[in-house]
């Protein structure tokens, strides 16, 4: 395990409206690894992700990409950071006035400065990767939730991010549409994309994640390999949280899905 560390998050503190949402959070992600953030809602998972690309600037602490600490006060450094860190949102946030193709293309032209043809080619490649090449002319209003989320993945990937942040990418989807998005995420993991994902899909992510980070009240209270934290006799917070979730879902068990890479 001597992959280089791509993203380092150190001692992040974030207070919103007098309430401490993140309380001294630190972790690091190595190249090609997937870290999964788990925990009850309000634990600070989304805020943590938003702090990493400074959409919600941390009050204190350091974010380093490729070993270089980001100066949150420098506009130039912020824009450069965001180009290299992709983000997937729970409610997709596609640009409603642009076709699927233009959703992917717009930042390639405006941010990366590609000419229109190169941008179109790249955008079509990414749409094909998420299985939506034939939907490129459709507008968000004409796409299903799962398709919208796949367009948003294509949009993020087109920027060649070093890290992808996923904020509950399947939470806003109808159950029958979750699968198509999870498949895309699994393909990315197989291809070695470095990712940090907040999710409630515990058994799915257990098969992909290198480490689980269990968050509660703004702190990471447990961390470890999924197999270790989810072991039936581990007595971990993660295990009991997962058991509660699966009880609510009615499938009555909480364990690691069979290895998908085999």
Partner 1 sequence: MDDFFAFAWERIIPTLDAGLWTSILLIVPASLFGVAIGVSVGALRVYGPRPVVKTLDAYVSLFRGTPLVVQLYFWYFALPYVRIGDFALVLSPMWAAIVGFALCSGAYQSEYIRGGLLSIKRGQLRAAQALGMTPFQSVTSVVLPQAFRRALPGCGNEIIYLIKYSSLASIITVSDLTGMGRSLAKSSFRNTEVFIVVGLYYLALVTIASFLLKIAEKKLEIPGFESKRE
Footprint on this chain of partner 1 (rule: CB under 8 A): 53, 55, 75, 79-80, 82-83, 85-87, 89, 91, 93-97, 106-107, 110-111, 138-142, 152, 155-156, 159
CA quadruple 235, 236, 237, 238: dihedral sign: negative
Q: How far is the CB of 111 from partner 1 (least distance, A)?
A: 5
Residue nearer to partner 1 on the CB measure, 103 or 201: 103
Q: How far is the CB of 155 from partner 1 (least distance, A)?
A: 7
Q: Provide the residue count of the chain.
A: 262
User: Under DSSP, is residue 116 helix (H, G, I), strand (E, B) or coil?
Assistant: helix
Q: Do 76 and 154 meet the contact criterion of CB atoms below 8 Å apart?
A: no
Integer angstrom CA distances of residue 213 from 83, 130, 209, 222: 25, 28, 10, 6
Residue nearer to partner 1 on the CB measure, 83 or 228: 83
Residue nearer to partner 1 on the CB measure, 160 or 251: 160
Q: How far is the CB of 26 from partner 1 (least distance, A)?
A: 22
Q: How far is the CB of 46 from partner 1 (least distance, A)?
A: 11
Q: How far is the CB of 79 from partner 1 (least distance, A)?
A: 5
Residue nearer to partner 1 on the CB measure, 11 or 41: 41
Q: How far is the CB of 58 from partner 1 (least distance, A)?
A: 16
């Amino acid at each position: 395990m001597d992959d280089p560390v791509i993203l380092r998050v150190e001692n992040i503190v974030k207070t919103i409206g007098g309430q401490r949402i993140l309380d001294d959070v630190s972790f690091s992600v190595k190249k090609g690894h997937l870290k999964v953030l788990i925990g009850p809602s309000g634990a600070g998972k989304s805020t943590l992700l938003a702090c990493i690309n400074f959409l919600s600037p941390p009050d204190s602490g350091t974010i380093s990409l490729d070993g270089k600490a980001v100066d949150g006060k420098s506009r130039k450094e912020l824009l450069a950071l965001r180009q290299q860190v992709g983000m997937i949102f729970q409610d997709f946030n596609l640009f409603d006035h642009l076709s699927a193709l233009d959703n992917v293309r717009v930042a390639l032209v405006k941010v990366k400065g590609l000419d229109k043809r190169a941008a179109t080619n790249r955008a079509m490649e990414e749409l094909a990767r998420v299985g939506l090449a034939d939907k490129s002319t459709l507008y968000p209003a004409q796409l299903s939730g799962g398709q919208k989320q796949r367009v948003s993945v294509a949009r993020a990937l087109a920027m060649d991010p070093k890290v992808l942040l996923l904020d509950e990418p399947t939470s806003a989807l109808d159950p029958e549409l979750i699968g198509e998005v999870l498949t895309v995420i699994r393909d990315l993991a197989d291809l070695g994309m470095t990712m940090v994902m907040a999710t409630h899909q515990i058994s799915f992510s257990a098969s992909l994640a290198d480490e689980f980070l269990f968050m509660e009240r703004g702190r990471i209270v447990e961390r470890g390999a999924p197999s270790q934290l989810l072991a039936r006799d581990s007595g971990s917070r993660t295990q009991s949280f997962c058991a509660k979730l699966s009880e609510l879902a009615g499938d009555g068990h909480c364990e690691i899905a069979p290895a998908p890479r085999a």
